[in-house]
Chain A
Amino acid sequence: MKFIILAYKNLKRRKSRSFLTISGVAVAVAVLVALLGFNAGYQEALTSDVDKMGYQVIVTAKGCPYEAATMMLAGEAVFRFIDEDIYVQITSDPDIDQITPFLAQLAYDPEKMDGKGGFINYLGIERSYLELKPDVIFKSGDWFSDENIHEAILGYEAAESMQKSVGDKMVIPGKDITLTIVGVFGRTATQEDGTVFLPLKTLQRIFEAEGKLTGIGIKLNKLENLHEFEERLYPIASIQVISMSQVKGTILDLVNSAKILIISVAFIAIFVAIIGVINTILMSVMERTREIGIMKAIGASRLDIFQIIWMETLIVCTLGGFFGAIIAIFGGNLIELLVRKVMPYAPGGRLLLITPDLLLISFLGVIVVGIVSGLYPALKAASMRPIEVIRSGE
Chain B
Amino acid sequence: MEKFAVKTNKLKKVYSAEFQTTIALKEIDLEIEEGEFVSIMGPSGAGKTTLLNILGFLDKPSSGDLNIIGHNPIEFNEEELSRIRGEKVGFVFEDFFLIPSLNALENVQLPLIFAKNDKGNEKPKILLKRVGLGHRLTHYPNELSGGELQRVAVARALANNPKILLADEPTGNLDTRNARELFMLFRNLNREEGLTIVVATHNVKLGYSADRVIHLNDGKMEKDERLVKQNAK
Contacts and interface: CB of A to CB of B under 8 A. Distances in A.
A13 B100 contact: yes
B86 A294 contact: no
Interface in B67-103: 78-79, 82-83, 85-87, 91, 93, 95, 97, 99-102
Contact of B86 (A6, A291, A300, A387): A300
Interface stretch (B112-120, B125-133, B221-229): B112-120
Contact of B97 (A6, A294, A299, A304): A294
B10 to A, nearest CB: 22
Nearest to B90: A298
A299 B99 contact: no
Interface string A287-325: 000110011111111101000000000000000000000
Contact of B101 (A10, A290, A294, A297): A10
Given A1-B106, A304-B114, A387-B53, A298 B86 contact: yes
A386 B83 CA distance: 13
A12 B58 CA distance: 30
A12 B160 CA distance: 28
Contacts of A9: 101-102
Contacts of B109: 1
B101 A299 contact: no
Contacts of B110: 295, 298
A385 interface: yes
B101 A298 contact: no
A393 interface: yes
Contact of B160 (A2, A10, A297, A299): A299
A299 B114 contact: yes
Interface residues of B, number: 30
A13 B86 CA distance: 26
Given A298-B86, A301-B79, A302-B79, A13 B111 contact: no
B206 to A, nearest CB: 21
A390 interface: yes
Nearest to A294: B97
Interface in A364-394: 385-387, 390, 393
Interface in A100-117: none
A387 B157 CA distance: 17
A300 B97 contact: no
A385 B157 CA distance: 19
Interface string B204-215: 000000000000
A262 B91 CA distance: 56
B82 A299 contact: yes
A73 B155 CA distance: 77
Nearest to A386: B58
A2 B56 CA distance: 26
A297 B100 contact: no
Contacts of B93: 294, 390
A301 B97 contact: no
**Which among A12, A291, A300 has the greatest number of chain B C-beta atoms within 10 A?**
A300
Which of B99, B102, B115 has the most A CB atoms < 10 Å from its CB? B99
Given A294-B99, A298-B110, A387 B59 contact: yes
A1 B87 contact: no
Nearest to A296: B82
Nearest to A293: B97
A22 B105 CA distance: 29
A302 B82 contact: yes
B97 A290 contact: yes
Residue among A3, A298, A304 with the most chain B CB within 10 A?
A298
A115 to B, nearest CB: 61
Given A1-B109, A6-B102, A393 B95 contact: yes
Contact of A298 (B100, B102, B106, B114): B114
A302 B86 CA distance: 13
A12 B86 CA distance: 27
B55 to A, nearest CB: 13
Contacts of B48: none
B153 to A, nearest CB: 10
A45 B85 CA distance: 65
A291 B99 CA distance: 6
B156 interface: yes
Contacts of A390: 58, 93, 97
16 contacts: A1-B113, A6-B102, A6-B113, A9-B101, A291-B100, A294-B99, A296-B85, A297-B58, A297-B85, A298-B111, A299-B83, A299-B85, A299-B114, A301-B82, A301-B83, A390-B97
Given A13-B101, A386-B82, 12 more contacts: A9-B101, A9-B102, A12-B101, A290-B97, A294-B93, A296-B82, A296-B85, A297-B58, A299-B114, A299-B115, A301-B83, A304-B114
Interface of A: 1-3, 6, 9-10, 12-13, 290-291, 294-302, 304, 385-387, 390, 393
- Closest 7 CB pairs between A and B? A299-B86, A9-B101, A299-B114, A294-B97, A300-B114, A387-B58, A298-B111
